[in-house]
Each structure stands twice: as C-alpha cells, then as structure tokens.
Amino acid sequence: MKALFIVPPVYDFSAFDLWSKPYGFLFIVDLFAKNGWETFYFDFMDRNHIFYDGRKTEKKYGCGNYFFQKIEKPVIYKNVPRLYKRFGLPQEVFLKFLESVGKPDVILISCGMTYWYQGVMEVIKVCKDFTDAPVITGGGYPSFCSEHAKKTGADIIFQGSDIKKFVEVFNSFTRSDLRYYGNLKPFWKVYKKLSYFVLRTSYGCPFSCYYCGVKKMHPGYFHRDIDDVVSEVAENMENYNFNDIAFYDDGLLCDFNHLKRIIEKLIQLKKFNFHTPNGIHPRFIDREVAWFLKETGFKTLRLSVEGFDEKRQKESSFKLIFSEFEEAMKNLVDAKFIPQEIGVYILAGLPGQKFQDVVETVKILKNFPCKIKIAEYSPIPGTIDFEISKKLYPFLPLDEPLFQNNSIFPLWNFDGKWEKIEWLKNLAKS
C-alpha cells in the first residue's frame, strides 16, 4: 500500500523559512510507516530540494528565502498595496515527482494557516487529475475552517491533532485496518537534508488567551517524556548534522525543570544553537533561567508581551505585568544577552484595539535593549477574539479564510490605515 504525503505551496504576500517544518504531519508519516505502508513525501516548502541548488537563499541559523512566483491577487485583496505570490517549488517539479511515484492508495495533505488554502486546492486538483485515490487534509486550516475546507474537494476533512481519532476516521472511511501506535515520532527520513531541526518538549498551553487558537489543536497541556525528546534529536543529528534547534512549544518555560533536564542532556550530545520563535513567557525568566539560557546556547529569544494596557493583560490571562517584563529584561541583560538576540512580540490589530495603544507600547519598549516585533493579529475561528470581532465588525467577511490573513491587518485595513501601519512598523524598527 502506498501513502503519498504532501506539504502544499503557500499563497501569501510574504513568506520566510523561519525554522518552518510540518512537525505534526511527520508523526502521521511515522504512523503509516509503522503500519508497513510504503510512504512517499513531497514538501513544496523544502528549501533543500535539488531545485534550489545554485540559488542563494540561506540566511542566519539555517533560515532562508523561498522561491516564489508573482501571481494575481484574489478580489478580496484588491485594495491591499502589496504584491501577491506563490511560494514554494514550481508545479512542474511536483508533476515529475508524481510520475515517479505512480498511483498511491491514499493522499494526505497538510495545511497550516487558514488563509493558505489556495495551495491545498492547487494540489488536490492536480492529484484528482492524476488518480482517484482518496484525499485527506488536516492541520490548522481544516481544523479551524472545516466547512470551508469541504470546498477543496478533499474526501476527508480531519480536525485537531488526536492521532488515535485520526486512525478511527481513516479506518472507517477507507475500510482499512490501520493500527494506532502510541510511541510515534516525527519521521524525518522523508528529508534528504535539513538546515535546522525543530522540536517540541510539550503540547498545549496553561493560559487561555482570547486571541489564541492553540486549545483547538491541543486542548490539554502536557509534557513529553524527556528521554523521547532527547532520543529524537540523537537519532537524527548524525544523519543531518544540524547545529540549530527551534522549539515549537507554546509554554516552553512553564515548567523550567522539565526543559532544564532536556537541555542538559542535549548539550552532552553536541553544542547547539537554540531558538524560540513561538515566544516565551517573560514572567518565568528569573536570574537562574536567564543565565541557564545564555550558558547553554540560546541564540534567538522571542518574548511574548502582546501589550501593557490592562485590557490586553486581561485578555492574555494576566500572564504578564509590566514589572515582570522589566525584571525579565534585567535578568537577560545581566546574563549577557545582546539586543540582537532578544525580540519582543506585541500584538497589533486586535478587535477594539486603538492604534495609539500599540504606539504607546512600542514607545515603552524602545527604552529596553531589544528588537520590537509587530505581530499582526489575525482573527482565528473558534477563539473568543474571533467572536468579538464578528460582533464589532459585522460588515467584514471574517468567515472567509483569506480575510484571516494577518498580513493585511484585517480589522484595520478597512478605514485607510495602511500609511499608519507602515509608520508603526518603521517606528518599531527605528
């Protein structure tokens, strides 16, 4: 039996490989491999594909630019003053791959952001023309927009991340006898080369922020077994010789002792550069934590601040107050972290948020040695902020996934704020 796994191209205004890999999808590949299926894998977003040979895309710490093609903007973006692009390997490369694979028995397609569904539609159309094998799509897009995902032509729309439930759905639809395995790991063998490695030490988050959709994918909060995490790195480091590891945790520092034990074992394997692109909670960065992060090789810290006004603190479960941020920054500076290594995320474009509130937060942060990162808000279906947004802006097409694209500041771009937005970004950079 043949299973074909596909990571589709991305249609967006911008895209950058910031330690981006379909981590959860690789567990499903492992599931099929353990069941004796022949697995085939095509990642449109793989920058280490032979297509990139001779193209200079590599940036710092293994990150880099994707190949892209300029395309026409959808009507819903007609007033957005930016170029629209298709990122990822050209379709002809995929067609050659399909011919080499032959007819699969099932096709599985992953999709992260809700507004990336155009890539899913492209791939499904090509696959349907090639074979009548059932198509399954999962990930963020079908999980948050299941009704819309039915328009893609996929035969199974899978929501969430429960692999045991996936097995039940798959067997029921295909009349297969796929067996559930509880000891699954990301099946990294599908990649010939890796510029970096990504890792999770935990799933879910103990906080319940209004804007966040993590509980839709991971309702609970739990830690992975320490030895499983370490072995995942050990088993792959010799094959891929990576130096950089990015953590995908949403609550990386919520149990520092758990992380500490993992890092202590990892640095016995090799000297790595560690990165936290998802953001970490400043309130957990005391003196001990700051020095430990510095001494063990953390090179990219991203602190989740969101905003300092009381309304935003309430909507963020009061996970941070200003004095805690001040203390965290002091501890990081004392531990010899430099401004280029510390980034601070602040949210902009939240429902009901005033432009001036974001400006004031930026001005406050400019008093600290850090890089300010504007995190554009995107209304995620199923979250509290999404429902608030629908009530505040009933005239906006919020149920259309393309309008959930954070690059267009969906709750701000309808009243001529593009110049203000650019001014805000420049203020943060200056």
Instruction: Examine the domain organization and report whether 276 and 211 are in the same domain.
Output: yes
pLDDT of residue 315: 57
**CB-based burial label for 69 (10 Å; 0-12, 13-18, 19+):** exposed
191 in any annotated domain: no
Q: Are 91 and 126 in contact (CB under 8 A)?
A: yes
315 and 385 co-located in one domain: yes
For the chain, the C-alpha Rg in angstroms (whole number) is 22
**DSSP string of 372-406?**
EEEEE----TTSHHHHHHHHH-TTS-TTSGGGG-G
Examine the domain organization and report whether 204 and 257 are in the same domain.
yes
The CATH number covering residue 131 comes to 3.40.50.280
357 shares a domain with 402: yes
Q: What is the pLDDT of residue 339?
A: 97
> What residue numbers bound the domain in which 315 lies?
197-429
Report the candidate in 202, 297, 206, 204 with the shortest Cα–Cα distance to residue 258: 202
Contact of 115 with 14, CB cutoff 8 Å: no
| Judgement on whether residues 229 and 356 belong to the same structural domain of the protein | yes
Buried b or exposed e, range 133-144, using 16+ CB within 10 angstroms = bbbbbbbbbbbb
Write the DSSP string, 91-134: HHHHHHHHHHH---SEEEEEE-SGGGHHHHHHHHHHHHHH----
Please check whether residue 123 lies inside any domain of the structure: yes
Chunked into runs of 10 residues, the chain (430 residues) has average pLDDT values of 98 97 98 98 97 90 97 94 96 97 96 97 97 97 96 96 96 95 94 97 90 90 95 95 97 96 98 96 96 98 85 61 93 98 94 90 95 93 94 94 94 73 90
- Asked, for residue 181, whether it belongs to a domain, the answer is no
Residue 183 lies in a domain: no
Predicted local confidence at residue 58, as pLDDT: 85
Backbone angles phi, psi at 214, to 5 degrees: -60, -35
- 313: helix, coil or strand? helix
pLDDT score for 65: 97
Strand partners, 259: none
Taking alpha carbons only, the member of 44, 87, 95 closest to residue 69 is 87
Question: Which residues, in sequence order, are CB contacts of 293 under 8 Å at separation 6+?
Answer: 274, 285, 301, 335, 337
Burial label, 9 (beta-carbon count in 10 A; 0-12, 13-18, 19+): buried
> What DSSP letter does each residue of 159-211 carry, written as one string?
-SS-HHHHHHHHHHHH---PPP-SS----GGG-S--SSEEE-SEES-S---TT
* Same-domain pairing of 215 and 156: no
Q: Quick one: pLDDT at residue 313? A: 63
- The residue from 142, 174, 206 where one domain ends is 174
3-state secondary structure of 226: helix
pLDDT value at residue 320: 72
- Give the type of residue at 173: F
Residue 182 covered by a domain: no
Residue 239 lies in a domain: yes
Exposure of 5 in the CB half-sphere (CA atoms within 13 A):
26
Per the domain annotation, does 180 fall within a domain? no
| 272 located within any domain | yes
Is 96 buried (19+), middle (13-18) or exposed (0-12) by CB count in 10 A? exposed
> Is residue 216 domain-shared with residue 158, that is, in the same domain?
no
* Same domain, residue pair 170 and 206: no
Cα(271)–Cα(138) distance, integer angstroms: 35
Do residues 358 and 348 lie in contact, with contact meaning Cβ atoms separated by under 8 Å? yes
75 and 29 share one domain = yes
Q: Are residues 215 and 128 in the same domain?
A: no
Q: How many folded domains does the chain comprise? A: 2
C-alpha span between 376 and 341 (Å, rounded): 21
59 DSSP 8-state letter:
-
For tokens 């399954």, the residue is 136
Looking at the structure, tell me whether residues 266 and 360 fall in a common domain. yes
Q: From the CB of residue 74, how many other CB atoms can be counted at a distance below 10 Å?
A: 15
Phi and psi torsions of 428, nearest 5°: -65, -35
Rounded to whole angstroms, the Cα distance separating 116 from 118 reads: 6
Q: What is the CATH number of the domain that holds 375?
A: 3.20.20.70
First-to-last alpha carbon distance for the chain, in angstroms, is: 56
Residues 326 and 424 in one domain: yes
